[in-house]
Amino acid sequence: MNLVVSSITMVDLTNKEAKRISFSPKKNLLTSTRNHLGKSVIMKSIYYTLGAEVYYPNPIKRLNLLTYIDFSLNAHLYRVARLKNTFVLYCDGVFDGCYQSVGDFEERLCEIFDLEIDLVSKDRDGTIIKCPPAFYYMPYYVDQENGWAVNSSSFDKMAQFDLPQRKNSYFFHLGVLDNSYVEISKRCKANKKRIDELAKEIDKYRMVIETLQAGLNAIQMSFDTASLERAISSRQQEIKRILEELTQTRSALLKAEDDLIQLTHEKELLSKYIKKKVPNEDFVSGETIECPRCGMVFEQVLTQRLEKIYLRESLLEDYTVAAEGQKRLEKQIVKLKRKFEAKQQGLKDFEKELTADREAYNTYVKSKATNQLLKEYGDQISYNSSEIDRLRKDSAEINQRLSVYTQEREQVNTVYQGNLTRLLAGLDIPSDQVETESEPGTHLSASGAYGPRCKIAQMLAFVETQHSTAPDLITFPMVIDSPNVLEQDDEHLESIIRTLLTWDKTSNQIIVASIQGRNMASTIDDVKIITLDNPQNHLFDSAEYAEYEAEIAEIFTQF
């Protein structure tokens, strides 16, 4: 099932210039009399239009570039147009849809090509994702700048997959691998990773258990925890009672001290009045005063004497009362202080005993928690062990399924290796110059000019192997740009071009771009020679734009 490109059209929308190249469904040589006429731009644009990312030169990157190609597949005629990252598709002349991204367009290509390649990305989770369109065309395209390098990378923006995954994509084309392989392969790797993680956890748990067990063995449990809990509760209640008594005693002590200070102050005042000298006063006799109750008459002088005597006696009595109160309060204060100190000491003793009991109890609690932790870790070890057994069983079943893929891969690779060996010999590459064993997509280390010839041999060996092992799968045109790299001499360059243009092992369309080989190509039947004669560094032409203007305008309106 071959995809055959009939033409490609490139349009500079800003300057209203265009270029169309038509191809033969068989062999094509794109050539020119000198360099920089646009051969590589045309070659890059073929698979660029179909969704791949290519290495355009800066002048082309700056253009407002519209490209579209016409191709046939399964008795249908398709036209695909690309403007930046938006695509328009026609099928049999009918508008099929507009796709706003490479990803959206790739979904439609999967349906048209009946091919889907899922690979494991390089992110931490190893996400399985549908690969971009470039992976459909990778085995069929050699770019001038990057395709002939040691690690050939003809398309850009493919680094989301590592080299082993890129190599796996070749075996999708060969009918060996499918998306089920990717899924179970990832699951097998995930199982192995998880088994390693669980085994490390088991080792960690066992080390912790050993450490905890050693500490637990050092603890002597020689007490009744129930009695200890009751003793702790009793001491807590006693401490609470002592604290209440301390509060009461302290309040009484503060009141007694306040009363003592007040009495002492009163006593000092009384002492001052008592000791105060009363001046002698001359009392005038003869003055009398009548008592209102009994009617007796007294002299005034007698009244004054009585008042002085009564006052003195009253002060002495108050002083005596204050002195007695002071002594009583002093005794009470001494007693309260002793009681307060005793309660404080009792509180300290209880707290000390409570601390000791709590330390013992905490030791018990810690040991109990340690035992619980040991149990939990033991359960985790048991769970991890059972999970490892389950994963190993699952991996064993997966490995049986993978062995089928591996066996088929080896069988197909044997076919590929036989084809490659024959082609290497046909291109005059000594057997000692390359590895004896390799797979499709694996770079062959070869010195100097042998490198490009090895690349051609690999490409042809691949399509020949595909033709024999997966004839119903889609194949694409072989697009090979500038095989005259790395100082190929004329003889070997002619050998490369002749091998490509006379290839009859498969029916793939072949498009080769080379400034040399025109004379030799003209001697081969069914080879279309396309010669560029435009000005140097100016591929597009306004006359061609005018010729296809209506077609270009109709396509442009669909974006």
pLDDT, tens only, 61-85: 999 999 999 999 999 999 999 999 9
Tokens of 487: 């100082």
Residue 448: burial class (beta carbons within 10 Å; 0-12, 13-18, 19+): exposed
Instruction: Give per-residue burial for 21-45: e unless 16+ CB within 10 Å, then b.
Output: bebbbbbbbbbbeeeebbbbbbbbb
Q: Which of 9, 54, 10, 158 is nearest to 481 (CA)?
A: 54
Percentage of residues in the chain with pLDDT exceeding 70? 82
- Going by C-alpha positions, the residue among 424, 414, 408, 498 that lies closest to residue 459 is 424
DSSP element (H, E) containing 425: helix 300-426
The alpha carbon of 312 is separated from its chain's Cα centroid by a whole number of angstroms, namely 102
With H, G, I as helix, E, B as strand and everything else as coil, classify residue 483.
coil
Tell me which DSSP letter residue 517 carries. -
Question: How far is residue 104's CA from residue 100's CA, in Å, rounded to a whole number?
Answer: 7
- Range 377-380, long-range pairs (CB < 8 A, 24+ positions): 377/205, 377/208, 377/209, 378/209, 380/201, 380/205
Q: Are 352 and 262 in contact (CB under 8 A)?
A: no
How high does pLDDT run on average in the chain? 84
What share of the chain in percent tops pLDDT 90?
A: 50
Looking at residue 432, its amino acid is D
Within 10 Å of residue 525's Cβ, how many Cβ atoms? 8
d(CA 440, CA 176): 12
Which positions ≥6 away from 132 have C-beta within 8 Å?
A: 51, 52, 53, 102, 103, 106, 157, 158
From CA 391, how far away is CA 188, in angstroms rounded?
9
Contacts of 36 (CB under 8 A, 6+ apart): 536, 537
Measured in whole angstroms, the distance separating CA 334 from the mean position of its chain's CA atoms is 76
Higher-pLDDT residue of 152 and 531 is 531
Of 140-149, 155-164, 420-429, 436-445, the range with the lowest mean pLDDT is: 436-445
With CA atoms as reference, report the closest residue to 512 among 145, 31, 29.
Answer: 29
Higher pLDDT, 303 or 468: 468
pLDDT at 46: 97
Q: What is the per-residue DSSP string for 224-247?
A: -HHHHHHHHHHHHHHHHHHHHHHH
pLDDT band, residue 488 (cuts 50/70/90): low
What's the confidence (pLDDT) of residue 289?
61
Pairing mode of beta strands 478-481, 510-513: parallel
CATH of domain 4-174+440-556: 3.40.50
For residue 362, count CB atoms less than 10 angstroms from its CB and return exposed for 0-12, middle for 13-18, buried for 19 or more: exposed
Checking if the pLDDT of 272 tops 90, the result is: no
Residue 4 in tokens: 């055959």
Q: What is the mean pLDDT of residues 105-131?
A: 91
pTM of the model: 0.70
Distance between CA 201 and CA 205 in Å, rounded?
A: 6
pLDDT tier at 396 (50, 70, 90 boundaries)? very high
Q: Is 290 helix (H, G, I), strand (E, B) or coil?
A: strand
Query: pLDDT tier at 11 (50, 70, 90 boundaries)?
Result: very high
CA-based nearest residue to 139, from 160, 121, 115, 122: 115
Take residue 444 and report the two structure tokens written for it: 């062959």
User: How far apart are the C-alpha atoms of 553 and 242, rounded to whole Å?
Assistant: 102
Give the H/E segment covering residue 42: helix 39-49
Q: What is the pLDDT of residue 310?
A: 55
Burial (0-12, 13-18, 19+ Cβ within 10 Å), 472:
exposed
Residue ranges per structural domain of the chain: 4-174+440-556, 225-357
147, 455 in Cβ contact below 8 A? Answer: yes
Q: Which of 355, 66, 109 is nearest to 239 (CA)?
A: 355
pLDDT of residue 442: 83
Position 283 pLDDT exceeds 50 = no
Burial class (CB in 10 A: 0-12, 13-18, 19+), 104: middle
Tokens of 475: 């194949």
Q: How far apart are CA 493 and CA 509, in angstroms?
A: 20
Q: What is the pLDDT of residue 225?
A: 55
CA 153-157-159 angle, to 5 degrees, is 75
The predicted structure's pLDDT at residue 245: 78
Measured from the Cβ of residue 339, the count of other Cβ atoms closer than 10 Å reads 16
The candidate with the shortest Cα–Cα distance to 11, out of 556, 559, 458, 558, is: 556
Query: Could you give the CA distance from residue 447 to residue 457 in angstroms, rounded to a whole number?
Result: 15
Q: Taking a C-beta distance cutoff of 8 angstroms, is the pair 476, 463 a contact? A: no
Instruction: List all residues 6 or more positions away from 425 whose beta carbon is below 8 Å from its beta carbon.
Output: 431
CA 27 to CA 521: how far, in whole Å?
Answer: 10
